[in-house]
Structure 1
């Protein structure tokens, strides 16, 4: 019975839906996390009576055909790249992006990754790095006797060195944008990689037209709404249960058929 296969595809689809939702919920407190949404497509149809086919030699046509679907499949897990809330941390090296753009990170293998997570630290050489020790481009090094670190909204980094009474500019943050930011490839560790779908990065300083500004002492929270995710979870659970009931009904029908004498 075809219904068994159709319902099985529905159960698998809702299982994937729950997995996507559970990942969103698990990352509710992940800095800069962007939630995903599962998208589905119906599968091929079998035409038992094709719409528009002739029903007589005089040219009359079937106005409505007979098609039997074969189920559903997961088509994509779209990443929602909307802005998360900005939360204050009062930490000098925490920097949030208010608007469009990504920080650029140099990976150990030389590739460039991109992130919205601005929870930066200093390594043993005084370089600005991520929590995993990856260097933040364009590469800013702080002297040992640095104090009063200031990051302006346009990305300029100024500090007081030693007993000096004037500030010194150490470097300048830049941000990268993409034509299709949803096409970036997530690699974990709050990092994304460029793909042919995302397009090449367009780099500029913060506050340039189309680019966001920086906010020192803040971090961007995940854009996950707990109420929405719980609602989606309940809906997926109900859909899974309904598909399981279809399988039970189809099994009962086959059992009744096998008992016919």
Structure 2
């Protein structure tokens, strides 16, 4: 078998994986708090016919070697946790994190999930939840006669309740951070789970230490840049076409050898 066929096949598979990531990024260009994916590649092992620097005679060594690569493979994908654009909504329950950190939510199985999407809502019991109905942690409950709610930059939640003339403090929104956020496991629904690669969550008050502040009436948009993704899409398309042409060329070479020799 012509080695070029195998090498080109690995190139086709790698570019297909890259296109999958680009298409997912573009599909989520308007998803609140979405973080774009990038695909990481590495070359495969090499066939060393002659090692670089081998002795060619008594007085000289070879300045280079004779090595043939065997293609490329996908090492993994990484989330780019750069800030997305801030979108002012003027909705009192919309909260954006300006900096590092994640909101904590209670998952359906009782475990803790993490999200950057701050489009919060209130359920029928007055509990503050995400758009999917997952309760925010630490849990916040708004009284039935709440008139106005205010969320400070440090996460302190206060509201005008009933006939009280002064705001009443209802609770504190905290954030968590990770040593390696790129190691979190994306679950869909703007949610992430802790993994061994991400490290343990570190909880803190917004605005303190390395944690970002909160902005009420604002949402963090997707960090996908459409122009960059379109350029990537064209580059991937051309690379895939070149690998496909390489497969065709290698096949023609094999046909020539088979029919001529």
TM-score range, shorter chain: over 0.9
Question: In the alignment, what sits opposite 1:49?
Answer: 50
Alignment of 1:196-207 (within 5 A): 196-207=196-207
For these two proteins, the number of residue pairs brought into alignment is 260
Q: Tell me the SS of whatever aligns to 2:260.
A: coil
2:63 is paired with a residue whose SS is coil
Partner of 1:75: 75
| Corresponding residue of 1:110 | 110
Give structure 1 regions of 4+ aligned residues with deviation exceeding 4 angstroms: none
Shift of 1:53: 2.5
**Separation in structure 1 between the aligned mates of residue 111 and residue 215 of structure 2, nearest angstrom:** 26
Match of 2:27 in 1: 26
2: distance between equivalents of 1:154 and 1:252? 67
Alignment partner, residue 38 of structure 2? 37
1:40-66 deviation digits (Å, cap 9, x = unpaired):
10001111122233334x364322111
Distance 1:12 1:209 in 2: 43
Question: What is the root-mean-square deviation in Å for CA atoms of aligned residues?
Answer: 1.1
Question: For 2:170 and 2:103, how far apart are their aligned partners in 1?
Answer: 17
1:222 pairs with 2:211 = no
Mark the runs of 5 or more structure 2 residues left unpaired by the alignment. Answer: none
Corresponding position: 1:158 with 2:176: no
- After superposition, give the CA deviation of every residue in 1:185-222 in whole Å (9 maximum; x if it has no partner): 11111011111111111111111121111111110000
Deviations 1:226-246 (A, max 9, x none): 000000000000000001111
Alignment of 1:211-250 (within 5 A): 211-250=211-250
Which residue pairs with 2:99 in the alignment? 99
In the superposition, the TM-score normalised over structure 2's length comes to 0.97
Per-residue CA deviation, residues 66-106 of structure 1 (Å, 9 max, x unaligned), is 11110000112121100111101111111111111110111
TM-score, normalised by the number of residues in structure 1: 0.97
Q: Distance in 2 between matches of 1:213 and 1:260?
A: 73
**Cα distance in structure 2, aligned partners of 1:78 and 1:5:** 27
Match for residue 127 of structure 1?
127
State the match for 2:187 in structure 1: 187
* Local SS of the residue matching 1:147: strand
User: Residue 150 of structure 1: SS of its match in structure 2?
Assistant: strand
The Cα shift of 1:31 comes to 0.4
Mapped to 1, the partners of 2:73 and 2:107 lie a distance apart of 35
